[in-house]
Chains A and B, each alone.
Chain A
Amino acid sequence: MNLQVNIGGIKMKNPVATASGTFGLGREYSGFVDLNRLGAVVIKGTTLLPRLGNPAPRIAETPAGLLNAIGLENPGVEAVVEQYLPFLRQFDVPVIVNIAGDTVEDYARLAQRLDRQVGVAGLEVNISCPNVKKGGMLFGSDPDSAAEVIRGVRASTSLPVIAKLSPNVTSIAAVAESVAQAGADALSLINTLLGMAIDIRSKRPVLGNIMGGLSGPAVKPVALRAVWQVFRAVKIPILGMGGIASGEDALQFIMAGAGAVAVGTANFINPAATIDVLKGIEDYMEENNILDINDLVGAAHR
């Protein structure tokens, strides 16, 4: 049975990765999951300088979902390179660094800093974070500005470049086409959906940042639809994510067109969710006599 996939030049031993922002910088879950068994580890959004993030409360539970407004808290790219990557290099797993900036130049400088960095297999360019005042989703909501960021990153690195897209747009396929043309090797979709919650006792928004990004099983149909549309629009591989908690969920994404999947919010509920998803995929392939996972990619379109 072949589980190996290639996402824009990143060779993964299986199609199950962790979603950025839900797996810290890799160490946090290493006592619960053997990182060697993962297809890839995508670490927390990293910026040029350290960021404090947003005031509490940063999360709110919703029906089968989770709103978060972390605000890209991270120790900055230097600390990630010096203090966190060495730990991840002990494992036989591709590490993808999610990068975020306020300006096109920020992204380019991040890409440059991480280029040829031992232990970095690729960059996931976060043009879709809904929880920061500058950059983030502002870039990803428009095909032209999204392409501008990707061109800047593309010119600054030889690493595989994955553009992480926002679902908070009129046409995600249009953004996908634009970043593919700008040189993205692959696409991650989707980031979270912009949402909010209100506490009727205090008559105030629950989140310190007022609005946040919705994730978890509640968003899965939206994510699946995005993968379906983008698969029809572009040729580059898709890392599909949004509410995946089981092998069945993952298979739906793969059949919609995802070459690999990432498990996000489900890690919080089940620290071994990635491994359970992988087992679910393997069981399905065995039961249905499927020899290569790549044969299932986009199967629902045929």
Chain B
Amino acid sequence: MYNKNTAIIKNDEVMPGHWLLCLDSPDIARAASPGQFLHVRCSRTLDPLLRRPLSIYCADRERGRVYILYRAAGRGTALLAGMRPGDRLDVMGPLGKGYTLPSPGRSVAVIGGGIGAAPLFFLLSEIKAIYSGRLENVAVFLGAATGELLLASQTAALGFSPYTATDDGTVGFKGSVIDLYIDTNGSKVDRIYACGPPPMLKSLSRALGPDIRAEVSVEERMGCGVGACLSCVCKVREGAGEEFRYAHVCKDGPVFSIQDLFF
């Protein structure tokens, strides 16, 4: 889908350096699934030139609204942070292949690092619906640099009780969310869902046994968003050894099975 004139309902700084964007788009809300992204034009001029891929934070299908939680990290997202309710946004999406949703009752762990927790919030709200609110088999692990950047209260509002880790130790476990996961979760789960910075995914990959299925979301510099320009590649395993092929994050991902990736 492509709409040059998607109305902005809200765009507020909800955590230091992080904005929550609400778009009026029943079509996207209906079509979106967790782990997918929107390809957004942040500039009205030719500089910065490219769109920015932003993962979907949640979709309110009843009200036809889509939310994106983003960090104003560079020039594009800084321009986006300057947009106001009523402004129109040029949006392509939802794009990409998201997470495979679990069947009801399966035990899962959901692990988010930093702003990487944003798409997992969408996943958690879908899991809550699939599990009819019976969430005892869902363990949520959130990590962030500081306590104020944790999405703990948002996750708790959905009915989950997240385990938390911060780099500075001000809230929860002091250290990485993967160390927290290893410390806490002795028992095996059927599936892990994760999103976060590359070092986090790397340590998750090392920590996992070979028989645990894990789906992780990957980032790479992206051009077109639809698989045409072949820019956003990541290596995926081809056979047993070190052989690889390039997958395209925008189309084959952004969610991949962790066993297929190289770290």
Given known contacts A245-B46, A265-B49, A57 and B228 CB-to-CB distance under 8 angstroms: no
Q: What does the 1/0 interface line of B76-109 toward A look like (CB < 8 Å)?
A: 0000000000000010100000000000000000
Question: How far does the Cβ of B246 sit from chain A's closest Cβ, in whole Å?
Answer: 6
Contact at B220–A57, with CB atoms within 8 Å?
Answer: yes
A282 to B49, CA, bound (A): 26
Main secondary structure of the interface of A (DSSP, over half): loop
Question: How far does the Cβ of B40 sit from chain A's closest Cβ, in whole Å?
Answer: 11
Interface size class of B (residues with CB under 8 A): 20 to 34
CB-defined contacts of A200 to chain B, threshold 8 Å:
none
Contact at A57–B226, with CB atoms within 8 Å?
Answer: no
Contact at A56–B233, with CB atoms within 8 Å?
Answer: yes
Contact at B229–A268, with CB atoms within 8 Å?
Answer: yes
Q: Looking at the complex, which one of A60, A61, A68 makes contact with B229 (CB distance below 8 Å)?
A: A68
- Residues of A within 8 A of B (CB-CB), count: 36
Instruction: List A238-291 residues whose CB lies under 8 Å from chain B.
Output: 245, 265, 267-272
Q: What does the 1/0 interface line of B18-62 toward A look like (CB < 8 Å)?
A: 000000000000000000000001000011111100000000000
Q: Does A73 make an interface contact (CB < 8 A)?
A: yes
Contact at B221–A269, with CB atoms within 8 Å?
Answer: no
Given known contacts A53-B246, A56-B234, A59-B231, A64 and B46 CB-to-CB distance under 8 angstroms: yes
Main secondary structure of the interface of B (DSSP, over half): loop
Contact at B47–A59, with CB atoms within 8 Å?
Answer: no
Contact at B231–A58, with CB atoms within 8 Å?
Answer: yes
CB-defined contacts of B232 to chain A, threshold 8 Å:
56, 58
Q: Does B227 make an interface contact (CB < 8 A)?
A: yes
Q: Does B224 make an interface contact (CB < 8 A)?
A: yes
Q: Does B223 make an interface contact (CB < 8 A)?
A: yes
Instruction: List B218-251 residues whose CB lies under 8 Å from chain A.
Output: 220-221, 223-234, 245-246, 251
A44 to B231, CA, bound (A): 13
Question: How far does the Cβ of B43 sit from chain A's closest Cβ, in whole Å?
Answer: 9
A17 to B48, CA, bound (A): 25
Contact at B228–A29, with CB atoms within 8 Å?
Answer: yes
Q: Looking at the complex, which one of B49, B92, B228, B246 makes contact with A66 (CB distance below 8 Å)?
A: B49
A178 to B246, CA, bound (A): 38
Q: Does A152 make an interface contact (CB < 8 A)?
A: no
CB-defined contacts of B230 to chain A, threshold 8 Å:
24, 44, 53, 58, 70, 73
Given known contacts A21-B229, A58-B221, A70-B229, A271 and B2 CB-to-CB distance under 8 angstroms: yes
Question: How far does the Cβ of A73 sit from chain B's closest Cβ, in whole Å?
Answer: 5
Name A57's closest neighbour in chain B (CB-CB).
B221
Contact at B233–A32, with CB atoms within 8 Å?
Answer: no
Q: Does A52 make an interface contact (CB < 8 A)?
A: yes
Contact at B50–A66, with CB atoms within 8 Å?
Answer: yes
Contact at A63–B47, with CB atoms within 8 Å?
Answer: yes
Q: Chain A: residues with CB nearer than 8 A to chain B?
A: 21-24, 28-29, 31-32, 44, 52-53, 55-66, 68, 70, 73, 216-217, 245, 265, 267-272
Please list 20 pairs of residues, one from A and one from B, whose beta carbons are closer than 8 Å in the complex, sorted by A's number: A22-B224, A29-B228, A31-B226, A32-B2, A52-B245, A53-B230, A53-B246, A56-B220, A56-B221, A57-B221, A58-B221, A63-B47, A68-B229, A73-B233, A268-B51, A269-B41, A269-B50, A270-B90, A271-B92, A272-B2
Other than the known A73-B246, A216-B46, A268-B228, what 12 A-B pairs have Cβ atoms closer than 8 Å? A24-B228, A28-B251, A53-B246, A55-B233, A59-B231, A61-B50, A216-B49, A265-B49, A267-B224, A268-B224, A269-B46, A271-B92
Q: Chain B: residues with CB nearer than 8 A to chain A?
A: 2, 41, 46-51, 90, 92, 220-221, 223-234, 245-246, 251
